[in-house]
Each structure stands twice: as C-alpha cells, then as structure tokens.
Amino acid sequence: MALKIVKGSIDRMFDKNLQDLVRGIRNHKEDEAKYISTCIDEIKQELKQDNIAVKANAVCKLTYLQMLGYDVSWAAFNIVEVMSSSKFTYKRIGYLAASQCFHESTDVIMLTTNQIRKDLSSPNQYDTGVALTGLSCFVTPDLARDLANDIMTLMSHTKPYIRKKAVLIMYKVFLKYPESLRPAFPRLKEKLEDPDPGVQSAAVNVICELARRNPKNYLSLAPLFFKLMTSSTNNWVLIKIIKLFGALTPLEPRLGKKLIEPLTNLIHSTSAMSLLYECVNTVIAGQYWFSVGSKELCVQKLRILIEDSDQNLKYLGLLAMSKILKTHPKSVQSHKDLILQCLDDKDESIRLRALDLLYGMVSKKNLMEIVKKLMLHVDKAEGTTYRDELLTKIIDICSQSNYQYITNFEWYISILVELTRLEGTRHGHLIASQMLDVAIRVKAIRVFAVAQMATLLDNAHLLTGNMQRNGICEVLYAAAWICGEFSEHLENPMQTLEAMLRPKVATLPGHIQAVYVQNAAKLFATILKSQEGNTDSTAAQDTSQLMIDRLPLFVQSANLEVQERASCILQLVKYIQKLQQKDVEVAEEVNALFAGELNPVAPKAQKKVPVPEGLDLDAWINEPPSESESEDEQPKAIFAKEEPKHSRPRHTEVDEKELARRREARKQEQANNPFYIKASPSSQKVYQDAPGVEHIPVVQIDLSVPLKVPGLPMSDQYVKLEEERRQKERAEKKKKEKKKRKEKRSGRGKKHDSGPESEEDITPAHQVDIVTEEMPEVKENHSSKFSNIFFLHLLFWVCDDKKSSKHKKKKQKKEKEEKEKKKKKKHHHHHHHSDGGGEESVQNGTVEEEEPLPVSLSHRLINPQVVYDIQGNLQDGSQVVVSVIFENKCDSFLKSMEFNVLDSLNSKLQRPEGSGPHDGLTVPFQLPPGVSNEARFVFTVQSIVMPQKLKGTLTFIVKVDSSTHEKLDFKLHFTCTSYLITTPCYSDAFAKLLESGDLKGSSVRLEGVNMPFHHLLARICFHHHFSIVERIDSCASMYSRSIQGHHVCLLVKTSGQTVSIDAKCDEPTLLGNVLDEIKQTFSQC
Amino acid sequence: MQFMLLFSRQGKLRLQKWYVPLSDKEKKKITRELVQTVLARKPKMCSFLEWRDLKIVYKRYASLYFCCAIEDQDNELITLEIIHRYVELLDKYFGSVCELDIIFNFEKAYFILDEFLLGGEAQETSKKNVLKAIEQADLLQEVRHLIKITPN
C-alpha cells in the first residue's frame, strides 16, 4: 500500500522521524517533559539545516508536540518555509502545521499571501486543495481581502473537487471580509444548481449558514430551495434546507403553509432519524399548528423516539416534547405514563429531562398521583444530586402558579414533612419557605400545620443528627415560627415550649436559634393567657420560671441575634414574674406584644404607594456611563443586518437591559419573601443558583435506624382520601344527573357524558389566600388611647440639615399613624386630658404641661448628636434648632398660631430683626383638621454647661362656628447631653487627650444595674451620644464632644451590679451635669 | 461545528481540529474541561450534553472518544453521523483502525478529516470520493518521493 512505502522512505532518510518521536514519548512516561525538551532541541537543530526534507520532518514533529500542548509558535517562520516547498509532500505537512498552529495574531501570516495565491492557481488540484483546506483554518481579514477574488474564480474551476472546497471556504471569507459577499453572491447562487452534488451541497451549506445569521436577504431564494427540497434525496442536504426554511418562515408566514405538506410527507416517509428529528423540530419551532393533525403527528413520532431503546433518541424525544409542552400542554399530558416511565431510566440526563416535562404536565387531577410517583423515586434515588433535583422539582411542581393545582393543603404539608426525612439534602430552606408560605397564606390549614410543626419540633433530634452541615435543619426555622405565630392552634403549647427551649437547640445554627427564642416568647404569651384564667396561679408562675431557667443558655450565645433577643426576652419575663408575684394579671399586656396579624402583600402593592413629591424615578442618580466607547473602534459589522444593533444609541440599550435586570432582581427578591405573593414559580430556582452551595461537602451518615419521624401522617392517605372524595362527588353528581334524567326522561333521552371530570369540577379542599390588589389596612388598636384633639410634637436638634431627612421619615410615619387614628374618631371632647405624651419615648428633654389643656404634647429630641456645622456659617457652637411638629387632632380649623418662649439670660429664641424681646413668632402656616406641619425655631445659647428649661406658650385661634382664642403652655428642656455630638475617637488620640492633663476628673457610681455590660454601653452611646473608643472585658473607654468643642472622656467599669464611671472633661460643670443625666437614665430602668 | 476532539480513555488528546479562532490558552482550557466532563459520564448515558451555550455530541469507539461541539440549532443526530462517517473513513484507510494508527499517523488522520470536513461543514458526503481524493494525494506524495529518492 502507498502509505507503507512512504513510511519506509522517510524511515530510511532521517534519524528520528515522527514515529520515533511518538515511540520515544511513550517509552519515557516518567520523564516525558525532559525527553520532549531534548527533542525540541534536536528539532531546532534540524530546522537550521538547509535540507527541506529535514525541515519538513521537524515541522511534522512540532505539529505533534503542539497537540500535546507545547508552544511551537517560535517555529512559525519555518512552517511558512515548508509550506512554500514546491513538493507536495512537504507542502502538505507545512499547510497542516499552519492550520494547527497559526491563528489571527500570528504575524508571519502576512508573508504567506503570495505563496497561497500561487498554490491556489497551481495546475495540480491537490496543491490547490491543500491550500484551500489550510486557509479555512487560519484565514485572517487581510488574507480574506487579498484572496477573495482568487477564491471566487476557483468557484468556477473545472474540477468539482476544487469548486466545492472554494464554495465552502467562501463562507469563512464572508465572515472575515463581509464586503466580498455582494460580488460573490450571484456565483454562489449559481452553484445551487451545480451538476455535481458535492458542490451543490456545499452551496446549500453556505447559504443556510448565511441565512441563519440574516434570513431577510435570502427570502428570494425560497422557491429555488423549495424545488431542491422536493427533488433532493440527500439527507445531509435536506437537513440543511429544512433548517434554512426554519429560519425563513418567521419572516414569511405564507411559507409555512407551503412547507407543511412536504414536511409531513418527509416525517411519514423517512427512515433517517436525523432527518425526522429535524422535520419535527422545524414543525414545532415554526408553530405550524394550523395544519390539521400536524401536532398529533409530531407527538406521535416523538413518542416513538422516546419509546426507542436508544438513549440518544429517548433524550432528543423528551427534549422536543418539552418544546411542544410550552404551547400545547394538553397534547403532551396524554403521554404522562411514558414520561413517568422515563424516571426509571438508568441515564440521569434522561431522568432530568423527564422531570422537566412533568413540571408542565400536572393538573389538579393528576398532581397527587405524579407527586406520589416522584416521592417513590426520592426514596429509591441514589446520589444526592439527583435526589435534590427531585426534591426541588416536587416543590416546583406543587407550588407553581400560586399552588394552582393543589386541592388539599393537608396533603401538601404532609409531603413537605415527609421530605424533611431526606438525609443530606441541601434544600432545607426551600422546604422551610414552602411551609411558611402555605401556613401564612392558607388560613384553613393553620391548625393542621401547627400540629405537624409541633411534632417536628418535638422530634427535632431525629432531623438533626449531624447538625451543622445538615441543610435540613432549616425546616426547624419554619416549624418554630409557625408554632409561635399561630400558637393559639397548638394542642399542647407547654410541650412545644419545652421542646423549643431544650439545651440541644443551642447546637442549631444561629439564625434558627434566634427564631426559636423569639417564638418561645410568643408561645409563652399564649400559655400565660390560658393559664391566667385558672384559679391556680402557680402554673403561670411555673411557666415564667421555665423561661427564666432556660433562656440564660441563649443569652450566652455567640450569635448576636440570639443573644440580643434572649436577653431582651429574659428581662421581660423577669419583669413579668415580679408582676405575677404581686398577683397582677399580665397576660393581656404580654399578648399585646405580639398582637396583629401578618398579611401577605400583593406584588402590585408598591403601585399604591404614591411617589413622594420631588422624586424622579427616571432620573439618573449617577451620571450615565459616557458614550465614549466610540463606534469606529468596534469591529465592522459582518453583515448588513447586524449594523442596527451597533448604531442604536448605547445608553438606551443599557437602560433597557438594566431595567430588565432590575426587574428580575426585584422579582427574585419578592419571590424569596414569603409575604409576597409570587407571580411565578421561579422562586425555587433562586435557591439553586445560590453560589457555592454545591461545593458544600455533604456528609452521608449511615444510620441503621430508619429516619422516620414518628406520628406523622403519610401523605399517601391523602391520595386515597382525595380519590374517595372525588368518587363521592362524582357519585353525587351522577345521582343528581340521574335525577335530572329521570325528570327529563319523558322528554328526549339524551345521553349524559359521565366520563372523566373536567379541571373545573375539582373543588379545592383549601383555598390559597391571594391578595391581588388591596393593601391590607393597618389595624389600629390603640386609637382609644388618644382622645386628644390636637397633637404637638416638639423636636429639637442642633442645627444640621443633612440629618433632617432622617427625622422627616419618622415624622411622616408618625403623621400617618396619627391620621389613621384620627379617622377612627368621630367625635372628640374638647377638654380632655391625655396621656399621649407617654406614648413617645422620652429621650433627652421633657415638655411639661402646666395644667390640663385641650392639647396634648408629645415631643422627642430627635437628633442631638448631629454633626456640628463646621463651615462656620453658624456662630460657633451657639445655636440650637428646635423643630416643632404641630398636628391638629380636632375637627376644627386652627389658625394664627404664635410660638413664644420666655428667654433666659443664656438661651434666647432668635426673633426677626426689629421685633421686641417678648414678641412671639408667627407659625407660618394654618392647620386644617387632621393636618400636621413642622416649624423650626433657632435658639442662641451662650453657655452649654448647664441644662436649661425654657417656658413657652403657643396661642392659636380655633375656628368652629365662632373663633375662640386658645393657649397652650409648655416647657422646653435643653439637657446637657443634647449639646453633645457623637464623635468617633481613636484610642491613641484618646490616650493623648488623657495624658495632656488639661482635663478635670469626676466620677459616679451606679448601683443595682442589672443588665449586660454591652447593653449598658449601648445605652450610654444611644442616649448620651458617646462612642466607644475601646472595650476590654468589663471595662470600656468612651468619648464624646460638645458642640463647643469640649472633650468628654469616660472610663466605665462594671463588677456585679455596680457600675463605676470615671470621667474627665475640660469643663467640670458640663461633666457633672452629663454624669447626672447618665445617672438619671439608669435610675429609670 | 465549532471543533472536534479525539481523546483516549485516559484523557490523552489524540487529535484536535478547531473551526473557530481561539487562543491556545482557551483551547487548552476547553479541552481539559470537556475531556473531564465526557469521561465522567457513565457508559449507558446518552451522547449529548449541554455545555456552556454549546451542545456536545460524543461517541466512544473502542478506547477513543470522538467529541464534537455544535451550536444550539444544529442537529445532534447528523453530528453523530458525521462522527461515525469519519470513523468509517479511518477504518477503510488504515484497515480496521486502532488508536495506535491514529497516534503514529496523526497527520494522515488530519488529512482524512480535512477531506471530509471543511471549515466545520461536511464537504463530501460520499465515502468513496473522500477516499479517492486521499489516495490520489498520497500517490502524488509517493511519486515525488520516488523521483527524489532515485537520484540519491
């Protein structure tokens, strides 16, 4: 044979040829790299020789090494040398090496243009062929431009061998040099009718690929292709033509009508699966459903594919079936049996495809059955990946379109509970979110859900074998929350409470413990309520004692959330216990802590919130990205059609994309939030995408005891129940029908169809609570506490506008509340004293009422720790701004309000120039009923070392039928802490400050402070505007600064219940007052 | 078709043909990734997998895996046929081909592939024509050799 002779001749001529190299590499498995590096050295020597045969041999060896992953780019020039050899043997090797090693950035390619042109026009067709083949691999835009004409000429070469290669390579040329398409196209079209089938098929290939990129330009060729399609018998060509028509039909719908007949003929007649598959796919993609029977034909053929023993056909059949499912779920549903069979397939990729299909196939009727099958598979499944996939699919299937297909939620809860038995799943949070979602939205299910969750909590130890890594413990999060929130449904709340406070709970992840603690408090409240009715008061006290005994475990938790909640609740329970010992009934108040119901929020609810004035949602917050990425830098569009994409203004595109992205992000966020009603079932996918989850190693524990939670109902019983229920319904229906028929018998005996019931006939056992439009109305329980007709908030803070926005929000919220309250009240008594002031948290000042008035005052010193205005546009530390919110709570119109304060020597209300020292300031607005508004008053303060109380009055006219003058007295309390500004300080600066010796010391002791040290510090920070400089164990240094620049340093130490504060400040009076105020804060608690 | 890879059961690359311009680094990365993915699949699994935005079609013949990457709209079954056709061509040319034939005559394997596919498209659907072209080219090589050897 020719090959052997060639081999022999090369063998004789060289020391080491390719075969020797390969053999050598195989013999040097241990030190392959070393061997190859010596070979490369040899090759470098060989390349230096003048003998072209030696060079060609070296290049051939290099090509092999290149495949092994070695860099041979240094030999590019030698490759060009070998390509230029006049001998075909070497030329062939040279071109092969070039096609494997060259790419667009290889610079020697520029040198090859003339050589390639020479080879293209060689009289030897194999020279030309080899050049064309090589060119197809390394053609660059330059080469394409320079050689386009030569190749075009070759398209009309006498030899079909050259013609077909030239036609195919033209496609690569078009890609690199789009300008060549126009002149070459007529000739390309001509080749569609070439006498040689190879050339013809090549032309079809090229045009099909071109048309896939830009179908519009090739519509005119449709008749020609139609002719080819009906005449050709070459399956390769037919597949390409059908693909081409697939691209054309969306532009010209009439083509579809013409095509459907030959397509169905092919589907019926062909024995080639590839062609059949192509036809079916085209029919599906083209939506040729207008043709009678085409859908049935496709589904039927796909069924044959799926039934085939060949895995490949099965897979493709399922893939195509899922495409039909998107538009015609009904026609696929009838093949449910077949799809379910595929779940047993040994090939995982086929099983996953089948699962995808099932998702779209469920209906109210078959949901339970399908899920039951899936549950069986869950038990059988090997490997956690597939089992997890099954789990997510089960939940996907059940929860899709707002649980549209679930008729019995007890069944669904049981399914979820059964799923918790899965070992090592990482979808615990998915199950948990479903439990929460269902329990919140399906009111009727709560009793059942609570009972189930209580059992789960009781048996938590079974789920939590090897806790930390086990994702399933997430369900305890849901279980605890549901038991707490809906605790009124618990049968044995005491038992659940004990389960939630077991020491083992402390091994759960922090966020779950936090929910445990919080919900233990809710349970506690419920239990108190039931126990207080009894004559035996010890039971209630025992419950409190249980809480007090168990909670400290959580107070010690390393998790901040757990710690904080636990210590908060512990204090609360201790207080409750004190009250209980005095026989005070507390259950009511404790329950009020958790009163109110959580309502789901409709996705559209946001629309109901008006956009605040002055907020332009479309305006850019930051400068839009510049359009500097100029268009001429972009690579030239390959085909005409791609141009519009580039010429579109850049920022609008970004805008749209960005909008879509944001919308998507928002949807996902909503989907994750159990209080949003999901518009789509996409929520589950979010979890799958969670980064890195798959990298978490899942430890499989081999438990000899089956992991079954006792006492849980099997979901199967619901399937039976459901069947019975439906049968009953059907029977009843039949009865009715019979009756009707009996009644009608005298008339026409029309036969009634008592066949399978329709979807609508299946009545759900539970209804999902779906809030579509309305926002839940805010429930207002406290309205009775406010019988005042006029509401005045005084807000003071040291001048700074930056912070005012924060307080405005609060204010708005408050106003809203007030208005709501107002609505509820129809009638008010004018002279009614109120305790409204007590509602507000007293922070740093007090407004004292002089006498009972038709007005109630509430105030808060919002933001005294504001940054002092550094720009100096205000006089140095001597100004304080007091903001006052006036709210009219009566039914009358208030006007001519005047605000006046009796100035002291130290603090003066700033009045406009020309007015006397006792004139009041007119409030610049009037108040219609129910309206509130804010006014600011500037005070000049000279010394800030002493607290101050200023007396003031507000006069106004109430306009009912006749106008009456009214007066309201108040006091403004400027505390010393309100002059302090939270200022961070580094420990070294702090140390320097203390060393400087300018500061004078003072100290104070607080006795009986019963709170954790960090809470104490937090309290000082919050109420007195200090920042912590450093904290070491039970000792902390703190710092603050007054608006006039006094430094205040504290050293806080605690031992037992005694707290000692050593303080230093450059102003002893100020310090003394601040310490007094701190002392007062802690005496209040 | 975007590229074709041939590799052994041990994951050794035996042949690579790229129809899209990629840097060497990318090629190596793709090769490594795909070889791993395909070798990890169980023997009874189907020949298709979705990988990035491409479809991978592979088939195992004896100890060699033939692996092609195609685009979304391409036909998987015809790609399998292409692979099979190429194996048939190799078989005819070498006479019951084995992995060693391809290792030691890797340039021939490329020549055959280049006669069969061009720029990722099938250029010749007739087996006879492909083999004829290869044999004639080989003969040409041979004749020249003989001429060259004789004067020596």
Q: How many CA atoms lie within 13 A of A1013 on its CB side?
A: 19
Residue of B nearest to A238 (CA): B78
Higher pLDDT, A670 or A1059: A1059
**Is the separation of the CB atoms in A1046 and A1002 below 8 Å?**
no
Give a three-class secondary structure readout of A164-224.
HHHHHHHHHHHHHCHHHHHHHHHHHHHHHHCCCHHHHHHHHHHHHHHHHHCHHHHHHHHHH
Separation of alpha carbons A972 and A658, rounded Å: 51
Q: What is the DSSP letter of A277?
A: H
Confidence of residue B136 (pLDDT cuts 50, 70, 90): confident
Contact B145 A273 (CB under 8 A): no
Confidence of residue B100 (pLDDT cuts 50, 70, 90): confident
**Is the separation of the CB atoms in A234 and B125 below 8 Å?**
yes
Confidence of residue A615 (pLDDT cuts 50, 70, 90): confident
How many residues does the structure list for chain A?
1085
Q: Which amino acid is at B96?
A: S
- The per-residue pLDDT for A463 is 64
Query: Span A860-886, mean pLDDT?
Result: 47
A contacts of B108 (beta carbons < 8 Å): 3
Share of chain A above pLDDT 70, in %: 75
Separation of alpha carbons A429 and A683, rounded Å: 12
- The per-residue pLDDT for A826 is 38
Start-to-end CA distance of chain A, whole Å, equals 105
Confidence of residue B143 (pLDDT cuts 50, 70, 90): low
pLDDT, tens digit, for every residue of A60-74? 889 999 888 888 888
**Is the separation of the CB atoms in A444 and A768 below 8 Å?**
no
Count of C-beta atoms within a 10 Å radius of residue A545: 14
A contacts of B125 (beta carbons < 8 Å): 197-198, 201, 234, 236
**Is the separation of the CB atoms in A171 and B118 below 8 Å?**
no
Helices (H), A673-715: 683-689
For residue A574, give both structure tokens: 């201790």
Q: Alpha carbon of A545 to those of A496, A542, A573, A580, A614: distances in Å?
A: 16, 5, 9, 11, 55
Of A800-814, A902-916, B80-94, the one with minimum mean pLDDT is A800-814
Contact A315 B139 (CB under 8 A): no
Contact B42 A19 (CB under 8 A): no
Give A1038's strand partners: A1028, A1050
Phi, then psi, of B131 in degrees rounded to 5: -65, -35
Give A841's strand partners: none
A contacts of B96 (beta carbons < 8 Å): none
- The alpha carbon torsion through A91, A93, A99, A105 (nearest 10 deg) reads -80
**Is the separation of the CB atoms in A976 and A1077 below 8 Å?**
yes
Q: How many CA atoms lie within 13 A of A812 on its CB side?
A: 7
Separation of alpha carbons B60 and B38, rounded Å: 10
Higher pLDDT, A1031 or A659: A1031
- The alpha carbon torsion through A908, A914, A917, A918 (nearest 10 deg) reads -120
Count of C-beta atoms within a 10 Å radius of residue A912: 8
- The per-residue pLDDT for A895 is 79
**Is the separation of the CB atoms in A959 and A1018 below 8 Å?**
no
Category of B120 on φ-ψ map: left (φ > 0), alpha (ψ -120 to 50) or beta: left
Q: Which of A511, A515, A513, A577 is nearest to A543 (CA)?
A: A577
pLDDT, tens digit, for every residue of A224-243? 888 888 888 888 889 999 98
Share of chain A above pLDDT 90, in %: 11
Higher pLDDT, A74 or A771: A74
Q: Is B24 on the interface with A (CB under 8 A)?
A: yes
Separation of alpha carbons A646 and A637, rounded Å: 8
- Report if pTM > 0.80: no
Higher pLDDT, A113 or A702: A113
For residue B66, give both structure tokens: 């033939």
Q: Which of A610, A518, A614, A531 is nearest to A567 (CA)?
A: A518
Whether the predicted pLDDT of A774 surpasses 70: no
Contact A239 B78 (CB under 8 A): yes
In a mutagenesis test of the A interface, which of B58, B74, B104, B114 is the best target, namely the one with the most A β-carbons within 10 Å?
Answer: B114
For residue A107, give both structure tokens: 């610079």
- The per-residue pLDDT for A714 is 59
A contacts of B26 (beta carbons < 8 Å): none
Higher pLDDT, A780 or A79: A79
- The per-residue pLDDT for B130 is 87
Whether the predicted pLDDT of A82 surpasses 70: yes
- A-facing residues of B in 25-64 (CB < 8 A) are 28, 42, 44-49
Q: What is the ipTM of this complex?
A: 0.92
Higher pLDDT, A868 or A67: A67
Query: In sequence order, what are the residues at sequence separation of 6 or more whose Cβ sits closer than 8 angstroms to the Cβ of residue A483?
Result: A450, A453, A454, A457, A490, A496, A500, A519, A523
Q: Tokens 């519509």, residue?
A: A219
A contacts of B24 (beta carbons < 8 Å): 71, 103
Tell how far CA A578 is from the center of its chain: 46
Of A446-455, A493-502, A881-890, A959-968, the one with minimum mean pLDDT is A881-890
pLDDT, tens digit, for every residue of A185-226? 999 998 988 898 889 999 999 999 898 888 888 888 888 888
Q: Which of A39, A38, A56, A140 is nearest to A97 (CA)?
A: A56
Question: Closest to B46 (Cβ–Cβ): which among A6, A89, A347?
Answer: A347
Higher pLDDT, A784 or B152: B152
Confidence of residue A716 (pLDDT cuts 50, 70, 90): low
Count of C-beta atoms within a 10 Å radius of residue A745: 10
B contacts of A235 (beta carbons < 8 Å): 78
Category of B40 on φ-ψ map: left (φ > 0), alpha (ψ -120 to 50) or beta: alpha
Confidence of residue B54 (pLDDT cuts 50, 70, 90): very high
Q: How many CA atoms lie within 13 A of A176 on its CB side?
A: 23
Separation of alpha carbons A211 and A240, rounded Å: 11
Question: Closest to A349 (Cβ–Cβ): which among B46, B105, B148?
Answer: B46
B contacts of A314 (beta carbons < 8 Å): 46
Confidence of residue A739 (pLDDT cuts 50, 70, 90): low
Question: Closest to A168 (Cβ–Cβ): which among B77, B110, B123?
Answer: B123
**Is the separation of the CB atoms in A188 and A211 below 8 Å?**
no
For residue A284, give both structure tokens: 């599906």
Separation of alpha carbons A725 and A719, rounded Å: 10
Give a three-class secondary structure readout of A649-678.
CHHHHHHHHHHHHHHHHHHHHHHHCCCECC
Q: Alpha carbon of A230 to those of A188, A226, A282, A926, B21: distances in Å?
A: 21, 6, 16, 87, 37
Query: Span B78-92, mean pLDDT?
Result: 93
Phi, then psi, of A366 in degrees rounded to 5: -100, 0
- The per-residue pLDDT for A469 is 53
Higher pLDDT, A435 or A891: A435
Whether the predicted pLDDT of A548 surpasses 80: yes
Whether the predicted pLDDT of A695 surpasses 70: no
Question: Closest to A315 (Cβ–Cβ): which among B48, B115, B139?
Answer: B48
pLDDT, tens digit, for every residue of A426-451? 788 889 999 999 988 888 888 999 99
pLDDT, tens digit, for every residue of A928-985? 877 777 777 777 888 888 888 888 888 888 877 777 888 888 777 778 887 887 777 8
Average pLDDT of every residue of chain B: 86
In the A/B pair of chains, how many CB contacts fall below 8 A?
157
Separation of alpha carbons A721 and A744, rounded Å: 34
Higher pLDDT, A13 or A132: A132
Residue of B nearest to A89 (CA): B141
Query: Span A20-46, mean pLDDT?
Result: 86
Query: Span A240-268, mean pLDDT?
Result: 86
- The per-residue pLDDT for B39 is 92
A537, with CB counted inside 10 A (0-12, 13-18, 19+), is middle
**Is the separation of the CB atoms in A105 and B53 below 8 Å?**
no
- The per-residue pLDDT for A754 is 43
Distance from CA of B138 to the nearest CA of A (A): 7
Distance from CA of A559 to the nearest CA of B (A): 41
Separation of alpha carbons A305 and A525, rounded Å: 63
Contact A239 B75 (CB under 8 A): yes
Whether the predicted pLDDT of B144 surpasses 80: no
Residue of B nearest to A198 (CA): B124
Q: What angle do CA A247, A249, A250 make, to 5 degrees?
A: 85
Whether the predicted pLDDT of B51 surpasses 80: yes
Q: Which of A685, A694, A759, A716 is nearest to A356 (CA)?
A: A685
- The per-residue pLDDT for A315 is 92
Q: What is the DSSP letter of A624?
A: P
Separation of alpha carbons A203 and A187, rounded Å: 10
Catalogue the long-range contacts made by A1017-1020 (C-beta closer than 8 Å, 24 or more residues apart): A1017/A1052, A1019/A1081, A1019/A1082, A1019/A1085, A1020/A1050, A1020/A1052, A1020/A1078, A1020/A1081
Query: In sequence order, what are the residues at sequence separation of 6 or more whose Cβ sits closer than 8 angstroms to the Cβ of residue A28?
Result: A34, A35
Average pLDDT of every residue of chain A: 75
